[in-house]
Structure 1
Amino acid sequence: MGFYVLSELGMTPMFMSGYAAISIPISILTTTIFGRLIDRSVHGGALLTLSSLAYMCGCLSLMVRPEYSTVLLAGVAWFPVASAATSTTFALAFHNVAQGSDDRLSTGSRLKAANSIGWMIGPAAAFGIHGMFGSPVVFATLFGAGVVWGVLILTTVVLRGTARIQTPTARPAVRRPSPAIVTGLLVCGLFSAAHSLCSVALPLYVTQELALPSYAPGAAFTVKVFAELVVITLTPGVIRTFGVEAALFASGTASIAAFAIFLTAGSVPAVLAGAVVEGCYYGLFSATSLSYMQGLSDSRHGTNTARYMNSVVIGSLVASPTVGLVAQWSNFGVAIALAAAVMTGALIILAFASRSHRQRMQLDG
C-alpha cells in the first residue's frame, strides 16, 4: 500500500506513515477480537467469510475511487478485518488435528509454507500487473482473487462443518496469558524484530555501503525465499527428531551466522551465501514458532494464535524506524549488528524459558 500511496497518489512519505499508523493498530485489535470469538465457539466460517467480504470491499473501493481518503477507509474498515483471517485459519487448523500427532507437528510447517508461497507470488504478481496495466487492473485482479478466496471458504470450511471450536462454556472469562505464553510471545517478537531489522537494512547496506550492483538485493531475496521454502518443508522431521525448542535454538544460532556473513561480505556470492543461511534460519523459525506457541497454550487456540500473530507483527514494526535512527547515527551495517544482538537476547530468554519448562514438567511428573 505504501507504494500505491507514493507512486500512484503522489503523496509524501508522511501520508504513507499515516496509513500504517492507522491500519496496523486496528489490525492487531481485530485479530485479537477474532481470536476471542473463535474461543467462544463463533463459527470460523462466518469469520472467514466476513474477512473475504471485507477484502473484496477494500479492493473494490480502491478500484472505483482511487483517493487517499479511500486508502484510509480501507485501512480502518476493510483490510484489518481481512488480515484477521490468517490467525483464524491457523487457529482452526490446529484445533482440527489431533494433539500430539504427526499431523499436528506438521500443521505449522504446512501453514507457514502456504503463507510464504503467497508472499513470494503475490507482491511480484502485483508489481508485474501494475507495470503492464496500472493500479486499477491490480485492484480488479485482487478483487477476483477475493472472490475465489470466498468460494474456497464456502466449499472447504463452511460446508464441511469443521469451523467451530467447541469450548466448555459459551462465554469463557477473559484470562491473562500464563507466564510461559508471555515468554513465548516475547521470544517470537524478538525473532521477528531481528529478522525485520536485517531485512530492512540489507538492501541499502549491500548497495550503498558494499557498493555492489543494484541487482544484488533482489537476487539475495530470491535465494532467501527459495531456501526458506525448502527448509519449511523439511522442518516437521526436524521437530520430530530434535523437538521444537531445539529447532528454535538452531534457528537463532543460524541467524547470527547469517548476520555475520553479511557483515563480512564483500562480493555478490558472499551476500548470496548469507541469503541462503538467512532463508534456512527464517524458514526454520516460521515453521517452528507457531507449533512452539501452540505447545505452550491452553485450550484457547483462537486467542493464543492471535497473540502469536500480533507478537510477530509488533516485532516487525520496530524495524523501519530503528534502522532509520541507527543509520542516521552510524550506518546500515550497525543495524544488522543490532539484529544479531536482539537475536542473542531472544536465545537467552528462550534458554531460561526452556529450563523453567523442564523444571515444571519434573514437578508435575
Structure 2
Amino acid sequence: MADNIKDYQMSDSIWKFVYPYDGKERTNQEKQQEEEIRQKQSLELMHQYQLYYRMVEKNKYVLRESVLSCQYGTKYAKLDCEEDHGVYKHMKPVMAITDCANNNIHNFGSCLCPEANYVGRLPMTNEVDDMGVSAIKASQNKRAHICVPIISENSVWHQVDSNALIGVKQKGYAPMLLDNAVLVCQYGGIIRIEEVPKTRINRSDYGVNYALDEEEKIFISVIAAESIGEGKLAWEVVANVIINRVGQKEWKSLTTVKAVVQRKGDFSSLNNGGSAEYHKAMNYLTSRIDNNNIYEQLIAVVMPVYHSEVEDITGGAQLYYSPKSMVPVNSIPRWASYYKKINVNGINSNEFVLFTGDRIK
C-alpha cells in the first residue's frame, strides 16, 4: 500500500476514497511507457481544445468560484482557493495557472471514466463518498466510482495566452488563469472552465488592482483615441455606441466588443495599425504603474458601461458624430442621411448627433 501511495502522490485526504487495483503487476519500464503514452494523449487533447478556443477568442480571467466541469464528471464544481494572490476583479480574487491542487479542485460527483482507461495504472475509487452518497455507475464499468480528481504534483493549467503574470507566494510569478485553459486528471478527464462569475461592481472598484483583460484594454483605448480630450460625457457616449452595436443590425455577425471596434473602417483610430493616441492609451493600460489620472478617470467611466452596470444614456444609439469635431466644423458626414436620427434628453446636439442602426434609405 505504501508503495502505491508514493507512486500516485496522493494525500491522505484522497487515499481514503480509493482502493488499489489487484490486477497484474507491471514492470517499471511498462509503467514508464504507459505514462509517456498517457501524457502524449493528454497534451494532444489539450492542443485540440485550445485550437477551438483560439477560434472563438474567449479570453477572460478566471476568478475564485468559477464553474468547472470534467468530461467524465456528473456535476459541476467551483474553483476554490485558500489564499489569494492580491489581484481582484469583480471583487473576487484572480486565479493563476498554478491553482490546480487538491484545495482548488474538489470533485465532480461521480466518475464515469471507463475503467479500461486506467485499470492496472491507477487505483479505483470507492462507490460511496464520505457523506454516504452512492456514485452513479457508467454502463461500461463493472462498478460505480465517486470522483476523486488526481492532478500531478507539478501540473499547471494549460492555456493559449500566458503573458499576464501574477505574484504567487513561494513560486515567484505565474500567468493569470484564463478561461480557455484546460487541465487533465490522471484518470483521463479533461477539466475545463465553464463560467466565470459575473458580479455587479461600483466605479470605485476599477482601481489599479482590477485586472483588465485584452478586450477591455482595446475597448478603453479606442474610446481614448476617439474622445480622450472631450470629457466624461463623450467617453460615455462612445462607450455606449460600441456596446450597442454588438450582435445588432448590420453588426449582427460581430458578437464581441473586440470584433465591433476592429471592423475595418468603423473607427479611424485603428487604421494603419492604430493612432498614436490609441497606442498611448494601450501602453498605459498594460502596466498602469504611473497612475495617469486621466486614463484612470476614463476607466472608471466606461467600464460600468462595458459590464452593463449603468443605464445607456444614448437611448440605444449605434452611430454618432460630433458637429464641433467635424472638418469643417458643423459639417455633416455623408452617411448621416442613411440612418434614423434620435434625440436624447441631456445630450447637447451641438456635442453629439445620434442615430440608430435603422437605415432609412
Q: Please classify the TM superposition score into its range, dividing by the shorter chain length.
A: under 0.3
Q: Which has the higher helix share?
A: 1
| TM-score in terms of structure 1 length | 0.25
Report which structure shows greater RCO (CA 8 Å, sep ≥6). Answer: 1
Largest Rg, 1 or 2: 2
Q: Which has the higher strand share?
A: 2
| TM-score in terms of structure 2 length | 0.25
